[in-house]
Amino acid sequence: MQTNWLVEIVKRSENGPFMKEPDFEMALAKRTAELVREYGLKFDPQVPIPSDDDMADRLYQAGLDLFVEMGVYNQTTERCIKFTRDETEEIVGTALNAVVLGTGKDAVVMRHRGVESDIPCVVHSGPTGTPCTERYHPLILLSCAQEPLVDCLGAGSVSTYMGQAIIPGSPTEILGARRDAAVAREAVRKAGRPGMHINDVAVPLTCAGKMAAIDQDSGLRTSDAVLVSQMVELKTDYDQLSRVAHLKSVGMHIVDLMTPLIGGLGGGAEGTAVVTIACHILGVVLYSASYHMMSHTHLRWVNNTDRMGLWMQSMVAQALSRNTPIVLLNDIYTVSGPGTAELLWEVAAGAVTGTVSGMNQQGAGTTGGFNADHTTGLEARFIAEVAHASLGLTREEANGYALEFLKHYEDTFDNPNRGYPFPELYDEETVEPKEQWLEIYHEVRDAIIALGLDLDGGWRKVRHG
Amino acid sequence: MAEITEQLRAELSEALRQGDADKAEALTRQALDGGADPLEVIQGIIVPALTEVGQLFQEFKIFLPELMLAGEAAKRATAILEEAIAASGQASASLGTVVIGTVENDVHDIGKNIVSTLLSSHGFKVVDLGRDVAPSAFLDAALKEQADIVAMSSLMTTTRPSQRSTINLFKEVGEREKFKIIVGGGSVNQQWADEIGADGYAADAAAAVELCKSLIQVS
């Protein structure tokens, strides 16, 4: 059994088959289309949460084939890093199936959950993918960290440092990364949850910037995590792999971030699902990730709450749950913004889909990331409530709920309701949601309870048995 | 110049839509051998076929692989036709030259690639500088290629300031007025474009094509 994989990965990066990037992309697109046909994968818009175990297994095999045949493209060396099927299966087989996140009383165990599992979801929150301003970033993080049903916090991204645009690779990137990590640390302290797991500081784009966020006293600790990204599709580079080297050395959690595009190189929902399976395998084999964040989005709307996005989330989660031990995390992206009913219906669809299919929960990336400060802790609470209430549902039952939820927002994709920025929805002094946002929350909550989902009992059962 | 038969017109159009580059190339040669006007092949067959493909992509009825294949087929056919145009001494069929790239420190290039493909298929000469393009590289390429338009993409709010830096560099060296500069990408909107003094903003690839067409007409 090979153990020093990073050295081997560099060796293969230097000596693997040479390919120009556009040729790799075209080859990947063509092979993916063939695999969709060979394995008989079929997206049905009426069934965003399929109950087809055999298709889930076929999807996994298609993704494994793609990974083994294409390898991973290293943009730095313009070579493909290849692994044999045996190597891949061995590494995937020995991957972690549970990780401890955070410390002390605030620590949680995030697990490989399985399809229709009764293991509760761990719930991550924070302004994922939604940029924040320096002014409101501390309040937004606090609004998330203080939510009782939220287990982990993402620090998000602020694009300025003391009013000046952060330039990647410059001192402002280092300062911004350290500032955002300190703000996140302060948010969890202020919330009375100092050991809460922080899952990354998103502003830095370089390895140096990411590493600058690590600071045992006032930044990210080894009980926290840093994201290592993949480039679409199935690509990495030495900057990302260098992050892995350092994070592994200091014993820090690595989060495998993938951002597959529905409608992109993988084609439609089926092909993008195949690519996404291969992306997860990349995260296991090359990044040794503690957990895997699946941030797939629709190429045009930049969300994953449409029918294709939900189907993909469900099928990929089912395929990986049935065929690997890895720990999965969805990343709910919406077109709508906070202060709107549509946002809550969108995240509810994402949460019910992910829960029955085997994922843990992360959210929400609102407004497709277009509107700054359009993110609050209340939608994270709602994700947790829906996820916990969905425990014990069958996929068929969950599919019924998803179809109901879709009715409330899918007509808005071309003209989304982006909602309101944080200060219009939360009291800046008390950091509590204002009445207008709470009213909408209760309205949608009551509507979902009326549909039969026990939002009151679900989380109580998770917390108190 | 000889008329192109309806059958050849239909077959070439279909080969382009299907992204069959080998067939498109063979049919293009057949058209030229039959005495067809290369400009007519471009304007009458390739541009309409690729416009249709672009529209289907915009409506999400087809996806990026199909668009890429059609774009590649059109590129190969157009190269043959451009050669024939040059040999006959006719003026180029190009609508104009666009230098395009994703800005410095930004490695996200899918959106830029889509814009690039659609611009090519609509008759623009596209010089694609790739991703992580420094301001000086945009300037050098714009001057070297005698570009009409410089197009910059940025996905992230942390990289979009490079669009401003690039425009500022064009101003500093006194070359700003020679080019139309347009911006796009996930982190960009009209307000940002106005703020940094760009000549235009497009929200998606189809809008980028229309923007370039309108800018070429007014320039």
Indicate the domain borders of chain B: 6-88, 97-218
Instruction: State the pLDDT at residue A3.
Output: 64
A203 part of contact set with chain B, CB < 8 Å: yes
What is the spatial distance between Cα A78 and Cα A383, in angstroms, rounded to a whole number? 41
Q: Decide: helix, strand or coil at residue A225.
A: strand
User: What pLDDT digit, counting tens, does each position of A324-369 carry?
Assistant: 999 999 999 999 999 999 999 999 999 999 999 999 999 899 999 8
Name A101's bridge partners.
Answer: A108
In this prediction, residues B50-61 reach a mean pLDDT of 89
Instruction: State the pLDDT at residue A415.
Output: 94
Count of A-B CB contacts under 8 Å: 72
Cα dihedral A88, A94, A95, A98 in deg (nearest 10): 160
Count H helices and E strands in chain A, helices first: 16, 18
**Residue B190 binned pLDDT confidence (cut-offs 50, 70, 90):** very high
ipTM: 0.88
Q: Please, what is the angle between helix A53-70 and helix A21-38, to 10°? A: 150
Burial class (CB in 10 A: 0-12, 13-18, 19+), A419: buried
CB atoms B68 and A25 under 8 Å: yes
CB atoms B105 and A169 under 8 Å: yes
Closest-CA residue of chain B to A21: B130
Instruction: State the pLDDT at residue B87.
Output: 86
CB atoms A263 and B161 under 8 Å: no
DSSP secondary structure of A43-106? --TT-SS---HHHHHHHHHHHHHHHHHH-EEETTTTEEE---HHHHHHHHHTS-SEEEES-GGG
What is the spatial distance between Cα A127 and Cα A137, in angstroms, rounded to a whole number? 9
pLDDT value at A1 more than 90: no
Instruction: State the pLDDT at residue B219.
Output: 44
CB atoms B161 and A165 under 8 Å: yes
B110 part of contact set with chain A, CB < 8 Å: yes
A164 part of contact set with chain B, CB < 8 Å: no
Distance from CA of A324 to the nearest CA of B (A): 29
B68 part of contact set with chain A, CB < 8 Å: yes
A27 part of contact set with chain B, CB < 8 Å: no
C-alpha distances out from residue A386 to A64, A194, A368, A445, B191, Å = 32, 26, 21, 9, 37
Of the candidate CATH numbers 3.40.50.2300, 3.30.300.30, 3.40.50.970, 1.10.1240.10, the domain formed by B6-88 belongs to 1.10.1240.10
User: What pLDDT digit, counting tens, does each position of A393-415 carry?
Assistant: 999 999 999 999 999 999 999 99
Catalytic, B154? Answer: no
The phi, psi pair for A227, rounded to 5°, reads: -80, 140
In this prediction, residues B52-58 reach a mean pLDDT of 89
In this prediction, residues A54-64 reach a mean pLDDT of 98
A71 part of contact set with chain B, CB < 8 Å: no
Pairing of strands A72-74, A79-81: antiparallel
% pLDDT > 90, chain B: 61
Catalytic, B162? Answer: yes
Least confident of A165-169, B89-93, B194-198: B89-93
A166 part of contact set with chain B, CB < 8 Å: yes
Residues 6+ apart with CB under 8 A from A339: A419, A420, A424, A425, A436, A437, A440
Instruction: State the pLDDT at residue A464.
Output: 87
User: What pLDDT digit, counting tens, does each position of A115-149 carry?
Assistant: 999 999 999 999 988 899 999 999 999 999 999 99
Instruction: State the pLDDT at residue A419.
Output: 98
**Residue B180 binned pLDDT confidence (cut-offs 50, 70, 90):** very high
Residues 6+ apart with CB under 8 A from B2: B34, B35, B36
Going by the DSSP 8-state scheme, the letter that residue A166 receives in this structure is: P
**Residue A106 contacts residue A196 (beta carbons within 8 Å):** yes
**Residue A2 binned pLDDT confidence (cut-offs 50, 70, 90):** low
What is the spatial distance between Cα A58 and Cα A273, in angstroms, rounded to a whole number? 11
Cβ contacts (< 8 Å) between A227 and chain B: which residues?
Answer: none
Catalytic, B122? Answer: no
Q: Topology of domain B97-218, per CATH?
A: Rossmann fold (3.40.50)
Instruction: State the pLDDT at residue B89.
Output: 80
Arch. (CATH architecture) of A98-464? Alpha-Beta Barrel (3.20)
CB atoms B60 and A167 under 8 Å: no
Candidate from A26, A205, A232 with C-beta closest to B158: A205
DSSP secondary structure of A183-207? HHHHHHHHTT-TT-EE----S--SH
For chain A, give every domain's residue range. Answer: 98-464
**Residue A121 contacts residue A314 (beta carbons within 8 Å):** no
pTM of the model: 0.93
